[in-house]
Structure 1
Amino acid sequence: MGRLHGYEVLLVLGSYWGRGYGGDAAVSQNIMDVPSSLPCPAEHDIFPCVCYASEDYIMDLDCSAVASEAELAQIFGAHFPFPQFRNFTITGNVNLKVLRAGVFGENSFEGIYVMYGDLEKVEEGAFFGSYSTATTMVLHHNKITSFPFQEIERFTNLRELRLNHNDIPEWQPMASKTLQRLHIGNNPFGSLPKDAFVAMPSLRKIFFLKTNLQKISSGTFSEIPDLWYVDISRNQLTHIPEYTVVLTGQKKCLYIHELQRHQNSRSSRNLRSVLLRRPDLPAQQPTDGGTGGGVASAAGDWRQTTAYR
């Protein structure tokens, strides 16, 4: 279902007012029966969650103050006259450890924001009501160790996924035809398979910084038609193979600063980034001055590789 429209609310209100045909007294009584919180659920049914509705009946729901997983389930077991919300938010909550399957029922959200808390696990089906509506999922700065990556492809309009600053121990296969921005840095992956992104053809930006990555395979960030921004900085990389990153979008930006250097390895100390552009374009030197850090960018098509002095 799409976003709530004003005429839908008026139709529902009209159904309340139209129940009585016995004169002004009956109509007045029916008006008194109309929940004052519409289009939001009744306040006492969802407390301590808070629902905000704009003049054009767009609803946001904030459940940051829930005391437990049981309370969250009880709240979403209440009557929601209109289940279509724009944004759902839980921030700074240390009580919730698990978002269980089906906890939100058929309520749908466009933006999902669960941040800066102690969340450890998201079960498959927790947000099943948002499969067709969610465009943004932000679950960063938690303690997540378990997340249903296999479910991402069911979110058919998802554009942005942020799972950075969690405790996800290893990369899990993931697919999406619509995902454009993936923030998954600051997790202790340690490794990244070569085919990690092949099932996400719409990616434009990938943030994979500070993941304890020690090596990377040639072609990992290639064959993605609109990819233009890759951040693999602050890892343990000492060598980046040729054609690891192939950026084909109109804009291009590659962050590889703070490459790890081993003092006993001459080649690693002299590691630098080289931009290989199309043969018909002049060569461009890296912006870091050959020190192995900084930002590499170019105006034309180019490939990133490594070289040694």
Structure 2
Amino acid sequence: MLSYKKLLTVAFFLLIFCEARRVLGTDEIPSVQESRHARALPCPIPEDILPCTCSEDVDGAIDMDCSHVESEEQLARVFTATIPFPNFRRLVISQNTHLKSLQRGALGRTSFREIYVMGSVLQEVQEGALNNSHATLTDIRIYSNNLADFPFQELPLFTSLLRLDLNHNDLAYFPVLQSDVLSYVDLGYNHISDLPSEAFRNVSQVAEVHLTGNRIQEIHTGTFAGYAKLAFVSLGDNQLFFVYPGAIQLTSLQHNTVHLHNNLISSLEVNAIAGVVEGFVSLHNNSITTLDEESLRPLVEEQVEVDLSANPLTCGCDVAWILTDDTILSLIDDDATCTSGELLVELDPQIYIDLCQIR
């Protein structure tokens, strides 16, 4: 028989248990079987969507992470599960080595505001794969994959899409872009060799363009002209040798930036770059030998900082107009160096006044 002391101990724990059931209610203490299938609204039952996982943030937005799917068929099966709340904020597929195609119908009836596929082996997004997200998607980021095919023809259907980031992929040509809302385009580090002058003609709201790391050789007249919101253009790390007059004509009132670094440009044409008011232009590491006043003065007179470092500058009389004006000289990068090894900013302006007929 139990001692009196042990009986009191048992009674004490029974009292606590009963009180807990009274306060919480019997439904708040699930059985082992119930807890195995428990789900926290608004996410689906976890077992039903494996190997994907669902999470909710403090604001109630729900995300789906499918980084561990092993095939296109498995991804499609996940989205046949019962999903009570099909309107997700984000789909994430990261570092996946299996999924090569995002197929039409694979995402079931769900919609997303953001799509993130990064560091994976995805090769294509089929036409119609994002049908249910036409009205909701604001952000598509499919970068560092093997993407060669994307349904660019569907862009006009994405009525809320602001950002399209497809950098570090295998796109071989510049696609036809058409959107009334798209403002950010990143097609950097692909295999694009030709940039048509009408590339952004049907993207009226474009504000930022990244085409770094392609194989583009020329920027034609009008390519980046006439866009009221365009404030950032980057074509660094290409094979540019010529920028035609009128190629980059910015009119945005924001701080404007143009990156043409690490190319093959030997001279800057008159009026090739304009409208970069109080902004920044990088011509770092090109093949520029002379600093033509007619080309560069319109930029520096608008308080534009110009990076001319790592160019083989001859530093003849062509730089006299810069050296004899401290305001202009202050806008040229301090690392701009003559082929003789001297820094441009350290040259004696009096030599140029005496020898270059400066008045």
Alignment TM class, shorter chain as reference: 0.7 to 0.9
1:270·1:291 contact (CA, 8 Å) conserved in 2?
A: no
Relative distance call for 1:198 and 1:158 in structure 2 (3 A) is same
Alignment equivalent of 2:258, drawn from 243, 254, 277: 254
Alignment equivalent of 2:221, drawn from 213, 218, 223: 218
Relative distance call for 1:218 and 1:73 in structure 2 (3 A) is same
Deviations 1:157-181 (A, max 9, x none): 0111100100011112111111111
Rg: which structure is higher? 2
User: Which residue of structure 1 lines up, in the alignment, with residue 181 of structure 2?
Assistant: 178
1:275·1:286 contact (CA, 8 Å) conserved in 2?
A: no
1:239·1:271 contact (CA, 8 Å) conserved in 2?
A: no
User: Which residue of structure 2 lines up, in the alignment, with residue 20 of structure 1?
Assistant: none
User: Which residue of structure 1 lines up, in the alignment, with residue 131 of structure 2?
Assistant: 128
**Do structure 1's residue 93 and structure 2's residue 112 form an aligned pair?**
no
User: Which residue of structure 2 lines up, in the alignment, with residue 61 of structure 1?
Assistant: 64
Q: Distance in 1 between matches of 2:38 and 2:158?
A: 33
> TM-score scaled by structure 1?
0.77
> TM-score scaled by structure 2?
0.67
Give the letter for the 1:40 counterpart.
C
Relative distance call for 1:283 and 1:81 in structure 2 (3 A) is closer
**Do structure 1's residue 80 and structure 2's residue 118 form an aligned pair?**
no
1:267-282 equivalences under 5 Å are 269-270=288-289, 274-275=295-296, 277=298, 282=301
Q: Distance in 2 between matches of 1:271 and 1:90?
A: 49
Relative distance call for 1:105 and 1:82 in structure 2 (3 A) is same
2:39·2:46 contact (CA, 8 Å) conserved in 1?
A: no
Runs of 4+ in 1 over 4 A off after TM superposition: 32-35, 275-278, 283-286, 290-293
Q: CA deviation at 1:283?
A: 5.7
Taking CA–CA contacts closer than 8 Å with sequence separation of 6 or more, which of the two structures ends up with the larger relative contact order? 1
1:238·1:260 contact (CA, 8 Å) conserved in 2?
A: yes
Structure ranking higher in helix proportion: 2
Deviations 1:113-148 (A, max 9, x none): 011100001101111111111111000100011111
Give the letter for the 1:141 counterpart.
S
User: Which residue of structure 2 lines up, in the alignment, with residue 137 of structure 1?
Assistant: 140
Give the letter for the 1:257 counterpart.
H
1:38-57 equivalences under 5 Å are 38-57=41-60
Structure 2 SS opposite 1:185: coil
Q: Distance in 1 between matches of 2:302 and 2:95?
A: 49
Structure 2 SS opposite 1:44: helix
Relative distance call for 1:193 and 1:261 in structure 2 (3 A) is closer
1:209·1:234 contact (CA, 8 Å) conserved in 2?
A: yes
Deviations 1:187-213 (A, max 9, x none): 111101110101101111000111100
1:275·1:283 contact (CA, 8 Å) conserved in 2?
A: no
Q: CA deviation at 1:284?
A: 5.3
Q: Distance in 1 between matches of 2:54 and 2:304?
A: 54
Q: Distance in 2 between matches of 1:159 and 1:277?
A: 33
1:190·1:213 contact (CA, 8 Å) conserved in 2?
A: yes
2:237·2:261 contact (CA, 8 Å) conserved in 1?
A: yes
Q: Distance in 2 between matches of 1:63 and 1:228?
A: 36
Give the letter for the 2:95 counterpart.
G
Relative distance call for 1:94 and 1:229 in structure 2 (3 A) is same
Structure 2 SS opposite 1:60: strand
User: Which residue of structure 2 lines up, in the alignment, with residue 287 of structure 1?
Assistant: 306
What is the number of residues matched between the two proteins?
Answer: 261
Q: Distance in 1 between matches of 2:143 and 2:132?
A: 21
Alignment equivalent of 2:205, drawn from 202, 206, 211: 202
Relative distance call for 1:133 and 1:198 in structure 2 (3 A) is same
User: Which residue of structure 2 lines up, in the alignment, with residue 193 of structure 1?
Assistant: 196
Deviations 1:206-263 (A, max 9, x none): 001111001221110111110000001111111111110111112211001112168x
Give the letter for the 1:260 counterpart.
L
Relative distance call for 1:147 and 1:292 in structure 2 (3 A) is farther
Q: CA deviation at 1:269?
A: 4.5
1:275·1:285 contact (CA, 8 Å) conserved in 2?
A: no
Deviations 1:54-99 (A, max 9, x none): 3543211100011111100000111110101111100000100000
Give the letter for the 1:252 counterpart.
N
